[in-house]
Every structure is written in C-alpha cells, then in structure tokens.
Amino acid sequence: MYHADQSSPPRPIIAPLGALYERVAPLSYPLIRVTAGLLLLPHGAQKLFGLFGGDIGATAGLFAKVGIQPALPLAYLVGCVEFFGGLLMAIGLLTRVAAAGVVIMMAVALLQVHLGNGFFWTKLGFEYPLFWGLVALAIFLRGGGELSVDRAVGREL
C-alpha cells in the first residue's frame, strides 16, 4: 500500500493553486487573530461607552442576576477585556496577556451564565463562549505571530 510522505504537505488537486496557497498561507493566523480581536471590540464599546445600544448597568444587572459579584466592577472589567483586550489581540501587542484575559472571561461566561442553557447559542447555550474561549486559547498558545507588534518590537510575555 502506498503512503504519502507525511513530512511534505499534500499536493493540491488543481496544481496551479499550490503557488497561491503558499503565498496566502502566512496570512491565515493573523486573519484569525485580528478578526477575533476586532469582533470583541464592539462588545466592550457597548459596555464601556454605551455604543451600539449597550449599557453597563444592564450588564451589571445580568451579572447580579446570575450571582456574579461585585457586579458593576466586574462588568467594567469585562468591558475592558473585550475592548482593550480585543484591540491588543487585533494589533498583536501583549497578545498572550490579552488572550489569557479573554480565555478567563469566556470560561466564567460559559460556567456562570451559559452552561445551564444547553449547547446551542440560539438558546443562549455555551456554544459561543466555548468557541471564542478556544480561539483565544489558541491565540494565547501561539502568541502574536509574524505580523504583530510583539514581533516588530521583538518582545512578548
């Protein structure tokens, strides 16, 4: 039985695409890191600045309802993790610190708010915080990567 060499990538079925894939492959990780960070930003802007129909009081009220105390300071903390952590992840500065904050935030959201609602996000289940927590964990494990401020300054935590 023939076994392909496991040390080389598989050949594309459409050979001319191989060169394209090689050129764009280095963009895949920054795309994930930047997108994850930018998708967190508006959630933080809702809480911290009242944008997009947000309200820190409503967030604090939800926290109090599910037993997360002290509700208002923690609502501000979550807003900061989402806004500033999202910004830091997007530009790749202090990437691991920002990603760790998101992992912790999503773990708390999953366990304290969403776990009892089942899996599906359409029923406010844990699917969404689990997915974003794992994305943030992967970013934490990898760091800023090639196209990041961390790499440009040559330092990271």
pTM, whole model, 2 decimals?
0.89
Interatomic CA distance for residues 80 and 62, integer angstroms: 17
CB atoms within 10 A of CB 58: 13
Per-residue tens of pLDDT for the chain, all 157 residues: 555 557 787 888 998 899 999 999 999 999 999 999 999 999 999 999 999 999 999 999 999 999 999 999 999 999 999 999 999 999 999 999 999 999 999 999 999 999 999 999 999 999 999 999 999 999 999 999 999 999 999 988 7
Say which amino acid occupies 10: P
Interatomic CA distance for residues 93 and 74, integer angstroms: 24
Interatomic CA distance for residues 23 and 87, integer angstroms: 27
**Structure confidence at residue 3 (pLDDT):** 58
Nearby residues of 116 by Cβ (< 8 Å), 6 or more positions away: none
Helix (H) or strand (E) run with residue 150 in it: helix 149-153
**Structure confidence at residue 5 (pLDDT):** 58
**Structure confidence at residue 8 (pLDDT):** 80
Q: Nearest Cα to 105, choosing from 30, 43, 35, 53?
A: 43
Interatomic CA distance for residues 98 and 135, integer angstroms: 12
What are all long-range contacts of 47-53, with beta carbons under 8 Å and residues at least 24 apart?
47/75, 47/76, 47/78, 47/79, 47/82, 47/83, 48/76, 48/79, 48/80, 48/83
